[in-house]
Structures are given as structure tokens and as C-alpha cells.
Amino acid sequence: MTDKRSILITGCSTGIGYAAAHILKDRGWQVFPTCRKPEDVTRLRDEGFDAFQLDYCDSESIQCALESVLAITDGRLDALYNNGAYGLPGAVEDLPVEALRRQFETNLFGWHDLTRRIIPIMRKQGHGRIVQCSSILGLVAMDYRGAYNATKFALEGLTDTMRLELYGSGIQVSLIEPGPIQSEFSKTAVKMFYEEIGEDAKNKSHFRESYTRRLSMLSKGGTTKFKLPPDAVVKKLIHAIEAPTDKARYYVTVPTYIMGALRRILPTFMVDMILRRSAKSEE
């Protein structure tokens, strides 16, 4: 048992989760990073963390990871940061139903499973912070990202509902909406495209020429315009878990601030036009 504030973070192999684990540890938090792959867990343990394997698609691994954390903290947990997710590029008409289900399993259902297990713990202790890593694509949709858009729009609605239902419990709930961040996200998206949609479907698709351009761009790490390092997201996370009162939403990058404002003041057809032009500029 320790007097340190404790946090469980998912998706810590690289990127935002990895940066969050190290920065919060340096700030005095007792950090429990989790990863899907055992070799990444081993690497984090070698770096001095109490790290555990957690796969959002495996309910047993979620329970085992949480039990391991609670055994160390004597049954308490101050914060949860749901972060692990992946993107699956592809037009909606080319998207297999099973691929969409798998995207939801990782990006939403697994988050819900873990969060439901933690809420009773936080209720009992009378406090807690739940932070969900959403996306600019939880505010607006962009083409060829239908599966990811859908999971993040669903996450936004589920989290807003949870915030209302947990009012007065001592548990505060926040969403972080990053936008473009330096990470392996784009390269992983290319891998998922070929696993879930495939070369054959790509070549037969109405969108095959666009796929070729977009996949090439993603293989190089995606657009660099307005891209910020993971630390920019962690800065918002720190406020969400340390400030006396959190915010419901945290925007991070310039595109998120812009689109958050435009969707409130412009008619839909104008927002669509801006989004189409923005997507075209990424090819």
C-alpha cells in the first residue's frame, strides 16, 4: 500500500500512453501502464513500472490486469485513462461488418468493460477521475475513416451520459480530443487496412486510386501539418486528473479547436465542404 495517487493507463506501448506513463511517474503518481502485447509489458517492467497485459478484446485479461493493480493499491484507484485504440482506414462500402465489430470491440466495448469494473471501486472510496482519449473524429467525421469515426462518436455519447449519471458521486469524467499527434497510429492503420479489407478489395474498390495515395501517405506517418508531440495530450491529462475541478472536454491541437468552433457556428453543408477539402489536402 502506498500514499501515492494511482492511475491505470491503457495503450502504453508507444505514443500518448507511453508518454503519459513516464510523465505521470515523474510527477509522483503510482502508474500502472498496460499493453496488449506481452513483450511491451516486459519492456515497461524493465523501465521500472508495475505493468500488466490488458487486451480490450479479452475480458479475462481486463479483469486480471485490474485485480493485479488493486492487489498493489489495497483495492483503491484514483484515476483511469482509457487510451488504447487503433484506426482502420477504408470507405464505408468496403468495410466488412466483422471488421467494424472488431473496431468497436477494441475502441469502445473494451473501454466500457474496464470502466464498469472500476466505477464501483471509485464510488466506494468517494472519488475518482475517468479520462477517455477521444479524437477530433469524435466531433466531426472525415471520409475513409468510417469505422474509427463511428467508435469515437459512440465514445463521446457514452462518456457524456456517464458524466451525467455520476454527478454527485465524487467521480469526475473527462474527454480529451487530440487531433494529429506524433505516434505510430498512421502506420498501424495501414497494417489494419490490409488485414481487415485487403489488397484484393482495394484493387476492386471504386476508391482504389484514392486508397493508393492515402495509404502511401499513412505509411510515411501521415500528414505533419499541425501535428504535436504526445506530451501535448499529457498536459491536458494532468489537468483532468489533478485540477480540483476537471473540464468535460479538452481540445489539444489547432484542428480540434477550429472544428470544434466551426461545427457550432456553420451549417452542415459548409462544414462538409471544409472537411472534404481538408481530406483532399492530405493525399
Could you give the residue numbers annotated as active site?
A: 148
Please say whether the beta carbons of 32 and 49 come within 8 A.
yes
CB atoms within 10 A of CB 231: 14
C-alpha–C-alpha distance, residues 150 and 141, integer Å? 8
What's the sign of the alpha-carbon dihedral 215, 218, 223, 226? positive
Instruction: Determine whether 114 is exposed, middle or buried from the number of CB atoms within 10 Å of its CB (0-12, 13-18, 19+).
Output: buried
C-alpha–C-alpha distance, residues 35 and 120, integer Å? 23
Please say whether the beta carbons of 137 and 180 come within 8 A.
no
The terminus-to-terminus CA distance of the chain in angstroms comes to 52
